[in-house]
Structure 1
C-alpha cells in the first residue's frame, strides 16, 4: 500500500502526520522510532538505496510492482503456457524475465502479453498527450489505456489489474500532488487492489485519494467517482450502512451533476442498488432497478457491461424468497439470458460472468420445485 504508517511501529499517520527521514523520506511517528530504525531496523543500510530509487514512496511502489507482476504471471501460467506476447513477440520478457499474463476478455490466442509491455503503451500515449498539451478529455482517454485492453476494449481484472495499478502508480508517484496523471494513478491503484481482493490495502489508498482530492479542491465529478469506489470497499469489509450512505449520496450527486441518463449516473445507481441488496432492502432495490435498467439498455445498448450488471442485480432483487412465483420465473429467465450475454461479451472467465453463472445455478437449485 502507499506509505501512511510509521515504518517501525505501524502507527497510522494519514497523509501529513509524523516526520520523515531527511534523506529518503521514510515515514516515522516520531524521532524515537526513527532512531530505532537506524540503529536496529537496518535503515542505515537501506537509506541511500531508497534515496537513489527516488525516495521511500517510489521505492515502495517499485517493490510492490515487482511482487504484483510475479503474482500475476504465476496466476496466468496455465493459460499462457506456449504463448508469446502480442507486443514484443517473446514468451519471456527480454529484460525483466517476467512471464505472460492475460486478464481481459480476449480469447483464443489473443491478448497474451507481459505487464511491462502493457504498461509501456499508456506511458507513451500519456507522455505524448502531455508533451503536445492536448486537452483533458484526450489525456483521460489515453490514460484509460492503463486499465483497458487495446484488443478487446474491456477492462483488465484481478491480479493483472492489480499489477497494472502498481505499474501506473510507480510511473507517476514522483510527481506533485496536483498533477493530473498522479491523481489518476493513485485512483487506479486503489481499484487494482480491490480487483485483486486486497481490500484492506485498497481502503488505505482510496481514503488517501479522497483526502487529497478534498484538500486540493478537486471537481465534484472526480470526487463522486472516488466516493463510489470507496463505498465499494466499505461494503466488502462489512461496513454496509456506511457504504449505503455514501452510495446514496453519490447517486444523488450524479443525478444532479449529470442527469438521469448519463453512464456515470447509471453506474452510481447500480452501486446504490447493490448496497440495498446487501441490506436485504429488496423492494427499494427493485424500484430503483426497474427505473434505471431500461434507461441503460436504451442509452448504452443491451450488451453493455453496465446494462448486463443492472439486469443481473434486478434478477437478484426479484428472486427474494418473498417474491411471487411468477416474478421468480420471470427473473430466472432473465438471469439465464443475462449470464449467456456475459459469457459472449465479457468472456467465460470474467468475474462478472462467473458470478452471474454461479448465482443462476444457485437459484435454479433453490427454486427447482417451487417455480
Structure 2
C-alpha cells in the first residue's frame, strides 16, 4: 500500500489498519528479529498518525515502540535513537512540552555517546531539543531566557558542525524563530528570508517545508509591523493547506491562527475575532481542550475581545482557558500562572 492511498482513507479505517497490522505482526513474533520488526512497524504507524495530526495516538504508539526497541537493542542503538527522535517530535505535537524536552535531552546524550558529536543524528537531535526549548515561557508570557540561551547555543552548534547542508538551513530557520521570540525581529527576518530563498530554489513555493518557513517569516514580519506582506504570506499558506490537507488539519488551523492574529495586530478586530474564535474551537476539537496550542488560542481570543471592548465574553473565555490549564498543567506551570495573572488584572 502506498502512503498516498493510506492518507486518503477515512480516519477510523486508517487507525484500524495500523493497529490491525501491528497486532498481526506481534501475534507472529517469536524471534528477537520479529519483535524488532514489530516495534519498527509501530514506529512507522505512529509517524503516519502524526502526519495526519493525530498526535496523542502517535505518542502512545511511539512510546510502545521505544520501550520495545530499548529493551531489545539498548538505548544507544541507531534504531532506538531514531525512534526517540520521532517520539520527541510526537510529544511536541501533542503539546507535552516538558516531556518533549526530557526526551530531547536523552536523545542528544545517546546520539553523541553512540554516534559522535557531528553525526547527522546528533545534529538533528540538537534541532529537536532546541525547538522544544524555544517555546518555554516565564509567568509573564515572555520567553524563558535560560531556555532561549540553551536553544541558541544548540542552533549555533549545528551551524558550526554541519558546514553547508540542508541541516544548516533548518538550524537558521529555527534560529530566526528564536530571535523573533527574543525580540530581535530584524535579525529574525534576515535569517528566515535567507532560508526561504534557498528553499524556494530547490523545492519551489508550495512544498510543506517551504510553507512552514513562510509562516515563520510572516510571524517575523508581523513583529516588525510589516502587516501587508505578513498577511499575504499567511493567506497563501492557509489557502494551500486548506486545499491540500482540509480545514481541520492542525497545520491548516495553525495557518488560519496566524492570519487571524495578523488581522488583530492591525486593529481589524471585527474581522479577526470570528476567525480567532473558529481557530480556538477547531483546536479544541482536533487537539483537545487542554492542549497547549488550544490554551494559547483561547488566550489570544480573550485578548482580542478585550481590545474590542467585549469584556464579559473575554473574561468567560479566559476563565475557561485558565480552568483547562489548571487541570492539565497544574498551578505551578508558567502558562497556568500567566492566565491567572491576566484574570486578576481584568476582573
Q: 184-193 vs 118-127, which deviates more?
A: 118-127
8 Å CA contact retained: 1:162, 1:195? no
Aligned to 1:167: 154
8 Å CA contact retained: 2:192, 2:213? yes
The alpha-carbon distance between structure 1 residues 142 and 170, as it changes in their structure 2 partners (threshold 3 A), is: closer
1:8-63 per-residue CA deviation (whole Å, 9 max, x = no partner) reads xxxxxxxxxxxxxxxxxxxxxxxxxxxxxxxxxxxxxxxxxxxxxxxxxxxxxxxx
Aligned to 1:261: 248
Aligned to 2:318: 335
- Matched residue SS, 1:288: helix
Shift of 1:205: 0.8
- Aligned-partner Cα distance in 2 for 1:319–1:309: 15
- Aligned-partner Cα distance in 2 for 1:278–1:231: 12
Which has a greater percent of helix? 2
Shift of 1:188: 1.3
TM-score normalised by length of structure 2: 0.57
Aligned to 1:308: 295
TM-score normalised by length of structure 1: 0.54
Match of 1:280 among 250, 258, 267: 267
The two structures, once aligned, show a CA RMSD in angstroms of: 4.0
Match of 1:184 among 170, 177, 183: 170
Q: Which runs of 5+ in 1 are unaligned?
A: 1-103, 365-371
The alpha-carbon distance between structure 1 residues 307 and 335, as it changes in their structure 2 partners (threshold 3 A), is: same
Shift of 1:362: 4.5
8 Å CA contact retained: 1:266, 1:296? yes
Shift of 1:243: 1.8
Shift of 1:285: 1.4
Shift of 1:277: 0.7
Equivalent residues in 2 for 1:131-210 (5 A)?
A: 143-148=127-132, 157-159=143-145, 160-173=147-160, 175=162, 177=164, 179-210=165-196
Matched, 1:249 2:236: yes
Equivalent residues in 2 for 1:56-205 (5 A)?
A: 120-121=108-109, 124=112, 143-148=127-132, 157-159=143-145, 160-173=147-160, 175=162, 177=164, 179-205=165-191
- Aligned-partner Cα distance in 2 for 1:359–1:173: 41
Shift of 1:303: 0.8
Shift of 1:297: 0.7
- Aligned-partner Cα distance in 1 for 2:326–2:135: 13
- Aligned-partner Cα distance in 1 for 2:152–2:114: 15
Equivalent residues in 2 for 1:35-54 (5 A)?
A: none
8 Å CA contact retained: 1:169, 1:182? no
